[in-house]
Amino acid sequence: MREFCPGYVRAPYRALVADYPDESVFTVDDFRVEWGPVFHRGRLDRTARILVVGQDPAQHEAVVRRILVGTAGRRLQGFLARLGIDRSYVMINSFAYSVLGQGGGSRNVDDPAITAYRNRWLDTIVKDQPIEAVLSLGQLADQSVKLWQAQTARGKAFSGVVTTMRHPTYPESAAASGSATHATAMAKMLTTWNAALDQLSGHVTPDSPIPLAHYGTDLAPSDLAVIPERDLPPGLPVWMRSDKTWADRQGANANEKRATIVIRIPTSERPF
């Protein structure tokens, strides 16, 4: 019997997705609103023990309609596995819409309307789920969690572990900007991941207890875990949760690129 994500059928989450902000809040200059919002990935059934806060949905997420399913998601899945967590997690993003450039995120992370909606998600999850820890991915996500802790009664009262680590695609973004080589950035990222493992281990109840093992200075192929079928809407093909890149933004100019996602089944995943 195949497992799948049933979506937002329960009352607290049904209300959240029925009342999401539109382009009057997430402006077209800073967000790819044309692809719509993407809300979460993971458990919404009162079994999640760790809450992960990411940044924003990218092209893979726009297609699959669940967050953190691309490279960042597969790396994060491997991180959770080191904690013995293979099921009891829930993930949301700082922004429900894809950010159009890092500046768009920085300009809007503390926008009152955007923050209010994000805080509703955080409050709802912490109230509804047995959350033992909150983990943020990157600077904007860390800022989002800190705003929640400062602004809502539930955020102020949360007594579980709150920690952060570098975003899973930091090595690629640092290398692209020229601020560090990919190898140096990867080692920096994994240093923060090891620190997060130390902070979370022993505080988050594992699904399958395993000895804690730290990362080295680079990711091994086994650290790029497959996204579980149970996290995604029913009927999605296997290649949409594999470790291969299958979606890419393309276009002759900025407007065409933001309007176009090319989907190609990886050669190794084709049944023909």
> Position of tokens 């093909």?
237
What local confidence, expressed as pLDDT, does residue 103 receive? 86
Residue 92 in domain: yes
Is residue 208 assigned to a domain?
yes
Taking 90 as the threshold, does the pLDDT of residue 242 lie above it?
A: no
109-168 pLDDT, tens digit per residue, is: 999 999 999 999 999 999 999 999 999 999 999 999 999 999 999 999 999 999 999 999
What pLDDT score was predicted for residue 68?
98
What is the average pLDDT across 188-207? 98
Q: What is the pLDDT of residues 53-85, one digit of tens each?
A: 999 999 999 999 999 999 999 999 999 999 999
pLDDT at 243: 81
| Cβ neighbours, 10 Å, residue 99 | 24
Please give the residue range of the domain that contains residue 114: 11-269
- Determine the pLDDT at residue 73: 96
Percent of the chain with pLDDT over 90: 94
The rounded mean pLDDT for the chain is: 96
The CA distance from 250 to 261, in Å, is: 6
Check residue 102 and give its pLDDT.
75
Average pLDDT on 204-232 reads 95
6 found inside a domain: no
Question: What CATH number is given to the structural domain containing 217?
Answer: 3.40.470
Report the length, in residues, of the chain: 272
User: Considering the domain boundaries, does residue 4 fall inside one?
Assistant: no
Residue 13: the pLDDT is 98
Q: What is the mean pLDDT of residues 254-267?
A: 96
CA nearest to 19, candidates 94, 120, 129: 120
For residue 124, what are its two tokens?
């709802």
Q: What is the dihedral of CA 133, 53, 153, 16, to 10 degrees?
A: -120
Residues whose CB falls within 8 Å of the CB of residue 71, separated by 6 or more in sequence, listed in order: 168, 169, 172, 224, 245
How large is the average pLDDT for residues 17-42?
A: 97
Domain presence at residue 89: yes
Measure CA 64 to chain center: 13
- Domain annotation covers residue 1: no
Evaluate if residue 241 carries a pLDDT over 90. no
Label residue 244 by pLDDT band (50, 70, 90).
confident
Q: What is the pTM of this model?
A: 0.97
Output the pLDDT for position 101.
Answer: 81
User: Could you tell me if residue 175 is inside a domain?
Assistant: yes
pLDDT digits (tens, 9 = 90+) for 96-107: 999 998 789 999
Number of structural domains in the chain: 1
From first CA to last CA, the distance across the chain in angstroms is: 25
Q: What's the pLDDT score for residue 17?
A: 97
Examine residue 90 and state whether it is found in any structural domain, yes or no.
yes
